[in-house]
Amino acid sequence: MLELHKSDPIDGPSLNPHLLFEKPTFDKVQSELLEFFLDVTGTGEEIRNFNNTKPFDELLYHLETSFTRNYEYGENKEIIDSYLKIPSVVVLHLLLTLASRCPRSNWTKRGSFFEGIQSTHEYVQTFNHEYDNCVYKPPLKDRSLYILQKYLDVICSINRGEELKSSTLQIYKNLLTVLNDTIIRRPSINTRPQLKSPTKRKKPSNVSSKSNKIDITSMFKSKSQRTKADSDTNDKDDEPQEDFSRLKYSNMTDFNDEVISNSEDEEDILGTDMVEEILKYKGMNQTPLKTEKAFQDSISSNNKASVLFQSMSENYISEVSDLKMPASNNLFISSRISNPSIAKINLFDEELLAISLNRPKRYNLWSLMQWMFSCADKSTKYQKYLFDSAGTSYHSLYLTYKGVLQFIFKFTAFNFLYELNNLLNSSASPGDDLIERFENSTRQTQLLSCMNNDNRFLLLLIVTQLGISPNDWHDRAVEYLFTGLEIPSSYEPQPCYEREKLLIKQDSSLINKGKGTAIEYDDNVDSMGFRYEALLILYIRSLFFDSNDIEDKPTAYSDQFIKLLGNALLKIKFKYFEAFFKAHGNNSISVIIPKKYEKKFIFSLIDYLITEITKLVEIYDILPNLDESSEEIAKSVEFFILEEYIYQSVTDDVTHESWESFKCIWLKLNFLIATYFYYQIMDIGLNDFSSDFIDKIKKLDNFRIDLYNAFIEKHSSKSTFHDDYNFMIDEKDKDRYLITDTSEVPWVNFKLLVDLKMASQK
What pLDDT digit, counting tens, does each position of 545-572 carry? 765 443 333 456 788 899 999 999 999 9
Q: 263 or 293: which carries more pLDDT confidence? A: 263
Q: For residue 455, what pLDDT is reported?
A: 80
> What are the tens digits of pLDDT across the range 37-60?
666 655 556 777 888 778 888 888
Position 587 scores a pLDDT of 81
How many whole angstroms separate alpha carbon 604 and alpha carbon 378?
A: 32
What count of other Cβ atoms lies within 10 Å of the Cβ of residue 22?
9
User: CA–CA separation, 14 vs 8, rounded Å?
Assistant: 6
Return mean pLDDT, the chain: 72
Give CA–CA dist 408/25, Å, rounded: 29
Residue 289 has pLDDT above 80, yes or no: no
Q: Taking CA 719 as the corner, what is the angle to CA 716 and CA 723, rounded to the nearest 5 degrees?
A: 95
Pairing of strands 48-50, 345-347: parallel
Q: What value does the mean pLDDT take over residues 503-519?
A: 66
pLDDT at 9: 41
**Comparing C-alpha atoms, which of 539, 577, 580, 534 is closest to residue 559?**
539
- C-alpha distances out from residue 596 to 158, 439, 561, 578, 602, Å: 19, 16, 18, 21, 10
Task: List C-alpha distances in Å: 660 to 646, 657, 683, 736.
Answer: 20, 8, 35, 14
Q: Using alpha carbons, select from 689, 597, 594 the residue that is nearest to residue 641.
A: 689
Instruction: Tell me the C-alpha distance between 543 and 510, whole Å.
Output: 46
Instruction: Find out whether 99 and 404 touch, Cβ atoms under 8 Å.
Output: yes
pLDDT at residue 460 greater than cutoff 50: yes
Q: Is pLDDT above 70 for 258? A: no
Spatial distance between the Cα atoms of 328 and 331, rounded to a whole number of angstroms = 5
Sign of torsion over alpha carbons 397, 399, 403, 406? positive
Alpha carbons 71 and 505: distance in angstroms, whole number: 43
pLDDT tens per residue, range 712-736: 988 887 766 656 778 888 888 888 9
Give phi and psi for 94, each to the nearest 5.
-65, -45
Per the DSSP assignment, residues forming a β-bridge with 729 are 716
pLDDT at 566: 95
pLDDT at site 344: 82
What is the rounded radius of gyration, in angstroms, for the C-alpha atoms of the chain?
29
Beta bridge mates, 347: 50, 350
Higher pLDDT: 529 or 156? It is 529
Cβ neighbors of 760 (< 8 A, separation 6 or more) are: none
Please tell me whether the overall predicted TM-score, pTM, comes out greater than 0.85 for this model.
no
**Low-confidence winner among 72-81, 407-416, 586-595 (lowest mean pLDDT):** 72-81
Residue 639 CB coordination number (10 Å):
11
Question: DSSP letters along 75-120, please?
Answer: T-HHHHHHH-----HHHHHHHHHHHTS-GGG--BSS-EEETTEEE-
Q: Identify which of 140-149, 189-198, 268-277, 318-327 has the greatest average pLDDT.
A: 140-149
Whole-number Å distance between alpha carbons of 466 and 474:
9
712's CB contacts (< 8 A; 6+ apart) are 729, 734, 737, 738
How many whole angstroms separate alpha carbon 175 and alpha carbon 303?
28
| Confidence at residue 443, expressed as pLDDT on a 0 to 100 scale | 74
Taking a C-beta distance cutoff of 8 angstroms, is the pair 179, 411 a contact? Answer: yes
Helix (H) or strand (E) holding 153: helix 140-156
Query: Chain centroid to CA 468: how far?
Result: 21
